[in-house]
Amino acid sequence: MEAIRKEETKPQKQMNQREMPFKQLLGDGIGQFGMTLLGTLTAVLLFYYTDVVGISAGLVGTLLLVARFSDGFTDLFMGNVIDNTKSKHGKARPWILWMVFPAMIAAIALFNVPDIGSTGQAVYILVTNIIFFSICMTILTVAYFSLMALTTRNHHDRSLIGITRALFNVPGGMLMSAGLIPILAAFGGGQQTWTIAIIIISSIAVITLLITFKTSKEIVTSTERTEIERKMPYKEKVKILFKNKYLVKLLLAGVFINTLFNINTAAGVYYAIYIWEDVNLVAVIGGVTFLPLIFVLFLLPPIIKKFGKKQVIIVGSVMGIIGNMVRLIDPYSISVGLTGMLIVSIGLVPLIALIGPMINDTIEYGEWQSNVRMEATVNGFNSFVTKAGVGIGTAIVAWSLAFGGYAEGQATQPDLANHMIIAMNTYIPALLYVIMIISLARYDLYKIYPSIIADLEKRNNQTE
């Protein structure tokens, strides 16, 4: 390890320059818009089940958490499958092509719960969630995440990919978490309105992901070790992955980040309706949360170059704590609340934008450490922690509502329910930010990363 630290610094300069063509970078980002439309269906799914279908929040939270953790098996399985895929389109790209239309059909089914009794509806919700999230979204997510590792080794390019994806995440996130419910409410908010909306949303997602398929190009390959890797038992791959200390730290951080993001989007709806007593403020919250992100994302590349990814994420986490404390000055004040949300959202930007690139940067460390490269298997775990965070975040919101005695579809709520809505919008996120800072405090991969890349290139040149 010490020898690695003493390598020349020339690779560092090379890795701070963009190599990926702009057209490919843009095409990759456009796909994130579609992934966000499909992925953040969870932000409105809880509201749809409780206030449109009329199912209790506690039951829904349990069903969604069970469905999300079932994703663990499919995420890890698909990571291995994609790593072993051989096609003219590469490893990951063909799976995007094959899965976009099944995902569209599954999304429509997700938001069409039939009137078949409470038990029948519970079964339907569980099954459709597993089909959409555990099968369709698992395949799309692992494949899309893997493109970051397969299209470049340059960690600056990966930062730009993460930032571009975050930019396209903004309009998708705004539409789903801020605009959709008020728009549907204006049109009556009934089942037919929801069905039409989901058809439109999923159709747009199909188009954007097909653009990503068309514009992406897989260029990163292993040497002849690839055949050995394909034949390696999956259990051995997992053992190798968990020896990668940097990957383990970031997977844990990924759970916290995705839990935070999902709490912010799902809980904000209830805050606007029951604490501020105005459904139209859902859109205002979305605007305050997402619009400033565009400005911040444009500032991120030079900041990352100067201070590094880890430091930027820690500063963002500190801002998240500060923003939530500001909201607690007066939880019922709209102006104070929106100010706190603005601080939180600015701090959340680097967390969302950089966790994916940082996880993919650990692939090279794992390859250097073990002589085995597993882009999709790593991103299978990445997909799992993403959906685990979503499941945990949704469950926290749903169980908090149930604990507070939330009355589905009622104009007013018990005092305890209102207190729980405030808690899941402030205290709980602040605690998660603290845990995030502790988990990444001693992360030091980037001190040795350029030399690891140089060493890997030497190995590959020797085996050609």
- DSSP annotation string for 140-174: HHHHHHHHHHHS---HHHHHHHHHHHHHHHHHHHH
Q: Specify the CATH superfamily of domain 22-463.
A: MFS general substrate transporter like domains (1.20.1250.20)
Q: In sequence order, what E strands does 47-166 have?
A: none
| DSSP secondary structure letter of residue 442 | T
Q: What pLDDT, on a 0 to 100 scale, did the predictor assign at position 292?
A: 75
Gap between the Cα atoms of 180 and 279, Å rounded: 11
Contact 393, 256 (CB under 8 A): no
Gap between the Cα atoms of 3 and 432, Å rounded: 37
- Torsion sign across C-alpha atoms 87, 88, 94, 98: negative
Q: Which two tokens stand for residue 236?
A: 């051995």
Q: Which residue has the tokens 């805050």?
A: 271
Gap between the Cα atoms of 133 and 154, Å rounded: 31
Gap between the Cα atoms of 63 and 124, Å rounded: 10
How many C-beta atoms lie closer than 10 Å to residue 18's C-beta? 14
Helix (H, G, I), strand (E, B) or coil at 329: coil
Report the amino acid identity of residue 130.
I
Instruction: Give the distance between the most distant pair of CA atoms in the chain.
Output: 70
Contact 302, 452 (CB under 8 A): no
How many C-beta atoms lie closer than 10 Å to residue 438's C-beta? 10
- Mean pLDDT, consecutive 10-residue stretches, the chain (464 aa), reads 40 57 91 91 83 86 79 78 83 93 96 92 94 92 88 81 85 75 79 92 96 88 56 81 91 90 83 88 80 80 88 94 95 94 90 87 88 82 82 86 83 88 93 91 87 83 62
Q: Which two tokens stand for residue 431?
A: 């605690």
Q: What pLDDT, on a 0 to 100 scale, did the predictor assign at position 37?
A: 92
Structure pTM?
0.72
Q: Which two tokens stand for residue 155?
A: 């960690």
Smallest Cα–Cα separation from 167: which of 293, 265, 285, 21?
A: 293
The Cα-based distances of 159 to 84, 156, 217 in angstroms read: 26, 5, 17
Smallest Cα–Cα separation from 35: which of 276, 179, 211?
A: 211
Q: In sequence order, what E strands does 119-268 have?
A: none
Q: What pLDDT, on a 0 to 100 scale, did the predictor assign at position 132?
A: 95
Q: What pLDDT, on a 0 to 100 scale, did the predictor assign at position 2?
A: 40
Q: Which two tokens stand for residue 264?
A: 């912010």
CA 78 to chain centre: 17
| DSSP secondary structure letter of residue 265 | H
Q: Which residue has the tokens 């959409």?
A: 132
CA 177 to chain centre: 14
Q: What pLDDT, on a 0 to 100 scale, did the predictor assign at position 457?
A: 82
Q: What pLDDT, on a 0 to 100 scale, did the predictor assign at position 5?
A: 38
Helix (H, G, I), strand (E, B) or coil at 114: coil
What are the contacts of 228-235 at 24+ separation with CB within 8 A? 228/372, 229/83, 229/372, 229/373, 229/374, 230/83, 230/84, 232/372, 234/76, 234/80
Q: Which residue has the tokens 């930027």?
A: 312
Q: What pLDDT, on a 0 to 100 scale, did the predictor assign at position 287?
A: 78
Q: What pLDDT, on a 0 to 100 scale, did the predictor assign at position 222?
A: 53
